């Protein structure tokens, strides 16, 4: 009998503090190419312990980081964690680190990469036109609901409202209750908008808005068969305006494809999975030093 994989699993008896401060890594950050990178530049810091680490220099020269394309560099979470662990006084019992890789992009340069296939180059990166939204109107309320549901910032959402509903959408709220219910997550999502005056329904409208959400994505640069382990040569990092229903992965490198992916396609959740450590039918030996193991 062949034992190909040996696991040594240590189960810790203590977990992170419930009130731990948080370090949340941003997906894409614009930085000067030759300037040192600090934690405060690439992460959102919540809490006193996290805020005290804002000045920590993570990398002196971004040019030494792995290339994510012609202009971008990739700062991995392992590098960030290693640097923070070297900082005196850092206690992970009171800190949580969230996120994965951070793409560092120089200013005034498009996020385009030299390994892009022809199909990738044709992807639309044009920012949709922004429409003015008057505060205190039904349109402003509906826009705020979309931001919350899609979990994006205002700069990362563009909504094209139908002209025929302008009069209704630009009505002042004036103390009325406005209920907005999106129906689905397509590019042209219908919004069911109900206006209440006290306990009476004053008006109901269905407004079909065209949505675009700006996302950091990985795009396939060359055809990848099912079971392909993706490398930097197989993917291109882009920032694209997408339909809200598209769910791009946070990180694609070293993952395995679950189906054939064509050049130019955005890698979505479900298109890839972690590589298998244990193949079906293999025999393994588990040694549990403390606690219990569930398979």
Total length of the chain: 295
* pLDDT greater than 70 at residue 26: yes
Helix (H) or strand (E) holding 285: strand 284-290
In the predicted model, is pLDDT for residue 117 greater than 70? no
Percent of the chain with pLDDT over 90: 9
Residue 56 has what pLDDT? 92
d(CA 55, CA 52): 7
28-59 pLDDT, tens per residue?
777 777 789 999 988 888 888 899 999 999 98
Classified as helix, coil or strand, 110 is coil
- Confidence bin at 12 (pLDDT 50/70/90): very low
Comparing 17-26, 130-139, 140-149, which segment has the lowest mean pLDDT?
17-26
- Highest-pLDDT range among 104-108, 126-130, 134-138: 134-138
- Give 235: exposed, middle or buried? Use CB within 10 Å, 0-12, 13-18, 19+: buried
Q: 256 and 229 in contact (C-beta within 8 Å)?
A: yes
Task: Tell me: pLDDT of 278 over 50.
Answer: yes
Give dist(CA 209, CA 86) in Å, integer: 50
Residue 70 clears pLDDT 50, i.e. is over it: no
Closest CA to 56 of 47, 43, 73: 43
Q: How many CB atoms lie within 10 A of CB 218?
A: 25
In angstroms, the CA 193 to CA 173 distance is: 12
Is it the case that residue 20 has pLDDT exceeding 80? Answer: no
Rg (Cα) of the chain, in Å, rounded? 24
**Based on the number of CB atoms within 10 Å of its own CB, is 128 exposed (0-12), middle (13-18) or buried (19 or more)?**
middle
Percent of the chain with pLDDT over 70: 79
Query: 189, exposed or middle or buried, with CB in 10 Å at 0-12, 13-18, 19+?
Result: buried
pLDDT at 110: 38
Residue 129: which pLDDT band, with cuts at 50, 70 and 90? Answer: low
What region, left, alpha or beta, does residue 99 occupy, with left being phi > 0 and alpha being psi -120 to 50 degrees? left
Q: How far apart are the first and last CA of the chain?
A: 21
pLDDT given at position 177: 92
- Domains in the chain, start-ordered, CATH in brackets? 5-105 (2.60.480.10), 138-211 (no CATH)
Provide the β-strand partners of residue 195.
178, 203
| Secondary structure letter of residue 187 according to DSSP | S
220-244: per-residue pLDDT in tens? Answer: 888 888 888 888 888 888 888 888 8
pLDDT at 263: 81
Task: Give the Cα-Cα-Cα angle 245, 251, 256 (nearest 5 degrees).
Answer: 95
CB 7 within 8 A of CB 277: no
One DSSP character per residue, 135-178 reads TTBHHHHHHHHHHHHHT--GGGEEEE--GGGHHHHTSB-TT-EE
Average pLDDT, the chain: 79
pLDDT tens string 239-265: 888 888 888 888 888 889 998 888 888
Range with lowest mean pLDDT among 25-39, 72-86, 150-164, 255-269: 25-39
The answer to whether 206 touches 193, Cβ cutoff 8 Å, is yes
| Residues 285 and 6: beta-carbon distance below 8 Å | yes
């Amino acid at each position: 009998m062949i034992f190909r994989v040996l696991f040594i699993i240590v189960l810790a008896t203590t977990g992170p503090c419930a009130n731990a401060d948080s370090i949340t890594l941003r997906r894409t950050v614009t930085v000067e190419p030759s300037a040192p990178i600090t934690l405060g530049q690439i992460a959102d810091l919540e809490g006193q312990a996290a805020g005290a680490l804002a000045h920590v220099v993570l990398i002196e020269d971004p040019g030494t980081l792995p290339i994510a394309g012609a202009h971008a560099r990739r700062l991995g979470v392992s590098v960030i964690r290693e640097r923070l662990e070297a900082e005196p006084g850092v206690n992970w019992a009171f800190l949580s680190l969230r996120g994965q890789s951070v793409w560092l992009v120089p200013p005034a340069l498009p996020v385009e990469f030299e390994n892009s296939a022809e199909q990738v180059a044709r992807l639309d990166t044009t920012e949709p036109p922004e429409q003015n939204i008057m505060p205190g109107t039904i349109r402003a309320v509906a826009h705020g609901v979309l931001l919350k549901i899609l979990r994006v910032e205002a700069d990362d959402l563009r909504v094209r409202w139908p002209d025929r509903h302008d009069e209704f959408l630009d009505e002042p709220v004036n103390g009325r209750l406005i209920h907005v219910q999106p129906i689905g997550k397509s590019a042209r999502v219908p919004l069911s908008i109900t206006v209440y005056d006290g306990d009476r329904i004053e008006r109901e409208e269905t407004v079909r808005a065209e949505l675009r959400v700006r996302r950091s994505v990985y795009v396939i640069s060359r055809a990848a068969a099912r079971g392909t382990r993706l490398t930097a040569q197989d993917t291109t990092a882009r920032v694209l305006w997408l339909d809200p229903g598209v769910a791009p992965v946070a990180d694609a490198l070293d993952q395995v494809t679950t189906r054939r992916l064509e050049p130019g396609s955005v890698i979505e959740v479900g298109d890839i999975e972690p590589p298998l450590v244990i193949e079906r039918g293999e025999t393994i030996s588990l040694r549990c030093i403390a606690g219990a193991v569930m398979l």
